[in-house]
Structures are given as C-alpha cells and as structure tokens.
C-alpha cells in the first residue's frame, strides 16, 4: 500500500492522547498497560513502514532517566526505572509522563514539530496467526512476562493502530475477529454483554491461567472452523 511521502506521526500523537484521556485507549491506567499497548501499536506501525520520532525520544529519555536518578546504565528500560521510583502501577503511569515532559523541557524538544519520512517499499508485514503462535510460545519476549493482561494490551494496541491507519484486515485478523465474536455471543455468552478479554478473565482464577485458557479457546475455535493447527507451532 502506497503512502504519502510525509504524513503525521500517528504513534507520537497517540502517546500524548493517552496522557490526556487514557480511557479512550484502555480501561485501566497502569504503566504496564501503557508499555504493552504502545509496544503493540508501535509493532504494527513499523510493520507498515512508518517511522515515529517516539522511538528516538524514548532512547534519549532512558539516558536522561539514568542521569536524573544517578543510575549506572544497565539492562533496565525506562518503564522499569520509573516504576522503581513510584508507589505503584497507577502512580508510575502518571510519573512516566511527568518525567518525560521534564526530559523534553530539559532538551528543549518540541515533539509536535517533527515531519516524518515514510519509506514505501520492502514492507515486512507480520502474519497475524504467526504472531499469536509466537506470543503463545514466548510471551515474555513480547510483553515481559507470561501475562494474559499484558498480551491483551499488546493486541489492543496493535488493533488500535490498524483502526487509526485505516488498514484492511488480513485473513488471520479476520479469523481473530470472528473468534472474539464467538466468545462473546456463543462460547462464553453469560450475563450482560462483555468484551472477549473480560469474559475469558472472568472464567479463570488468575492472570496466568487466563493466558493458558485464551490459547485453549483459540484452538477450540480453530477446530470449529476446520483449521485445527492454525494457532499451533508448525502450522
């Protein structure tokens, strides 16, 4: 899909929009929700050949954080550092933006002023079912730990990016949408309507068991539609 040579930096725009009203993007404020939602959004954004200034700014922010808190450079990322100086995930969410704005002021940056050049060739779009198989095999590689909530936030970020960019869905993404409708209207339909992720979590005892159940349900749906190995490694 061809794009204009220059276009708005949508990822950076979403980053600041979340600060203004996070409930437009996810239901609960948490630094980990922010991290995984943005990672999912950024992953799809970059698959489309789009370049954001946010990645560059985050690199500078990490350097600034180490200096600000007098830390030696290590493998800890910006989210981990901010959380370690916060009272909890919600406080860390707000502190992250406060510190990020302090960093921008110190560096005299104006993020809204950047124009972004868009490469339009050699795009490497990830197969969505392959992504789900990878999340199943190594969730910690994608979202930091084996966590249903984090996986959901990652996938929600990716879905929001597709919506914001007006992208057409692939076969795998259409299947996943059908899976969510199946969960909501047939498989776990009970009580007043709730989103797929809420229904799955409600049926389980812990975040970890919810992740396992999520993939079990995906396999059930794959069998139902006659594609039994769709979400299994080696398909």
Q: What is the pLDDT of residues 145-164, one digit of tens each?
A: 999 999 999 999 999 999 99
The reply to whether 133 falls in a domain is: no
Q: Tell me the mean pLDDT in the region 52-65.
A: 87
Q: Of 167, 200, 225, which residue constitutes the final position of a domain? A: 167
pTM of the model as a whole: 0.85
Percent of the chain surpassing pLDDT 70: 89
**In terms of residue numbers, what domain contains 186?**
169-235
**Tokens 């299947």 map to which residue?**
175
* pLDDT, position 188: 93
Residue 41 sits in the same domain as residue 77: yes
Q: What residues contact 167, with CB distance under 8 A and at least 6 apart? A: 1, 48, 161
The reply to whether 15 falls in a domain is: yes
Residue 179 sits in the same domain as residue 232: yes
Per the rule left: phi > 0, alpha: psi between -120 and 50, beta: everything else, 166 is left
Q: C-alpha dihedral over 154, 155, 161, 162, to 10 degrees?
A: 160
CB 203 within 8 A of CB 213: yes
CA distance 154 to 135: 10
Q: Tell me the mean pLDDT in the region 139-144.
A: 92
The pLDDT-based confidence of 109 (bands split at 50, 70, 90) is low
Q: How many domains does the chain have?
A: 2
The reply to whether 31 falls in a domain is: yes
The reply to whether 140 falls in a domain is: no
Count other Cβ atoms within 10 Å, centred on residue 192.
Answer: 4
The pLDDT-based confidence of 124 (bands split at 50, 70, 90) is low
């Amino acid at each position: 899909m061809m794009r204009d040579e220059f276009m708005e930096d949508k990822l950076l725009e979403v980053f600041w929009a979340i600060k203004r009203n996070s409930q437009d993007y996810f239901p609960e404020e948490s630094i980990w929700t922010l991290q995984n939602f943005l990672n999912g959004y950024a992953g799809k954004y970059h698959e489309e050949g789009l370049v954001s200034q946010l990645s560059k700014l985050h690199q500078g922010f990490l350097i600034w954080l180490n200096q600000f808190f007098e830390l030696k450079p290590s493998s800890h990322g910006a989210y981990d550092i901010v959380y370690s100086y916060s009272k909890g995930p919600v406080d860390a969410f707000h502190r992250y933006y406060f510190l990020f704005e302090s960093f921008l002021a110190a560096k005299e940056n104006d993020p809204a002023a950047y124009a972004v050049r868009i490469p339009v060739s050699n795009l490497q779009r990830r197969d969505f079912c392959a992504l789900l198989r990878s999340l199943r095999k190594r969730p910690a590689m994608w979202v930091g730990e084996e966590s249903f909530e984090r996986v959901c936030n990652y996938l929600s970020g990716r879905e929001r990016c597709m919506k914001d960019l007006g992208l057409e869905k692939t076969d795998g993404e259409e299947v996943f949408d059908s899976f969510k409708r199946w969960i909501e209207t047939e498989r776990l339909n009970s009580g007043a309507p709730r989103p797929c992720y809420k229904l799955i979590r409600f049926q389980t005892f812990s975040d970890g068991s919810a992740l396992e159940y999520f993939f079990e349900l995906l396999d059930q749906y794959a069998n139902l539609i006659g594609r039994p190995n769709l979400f299994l490694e080696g398909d």
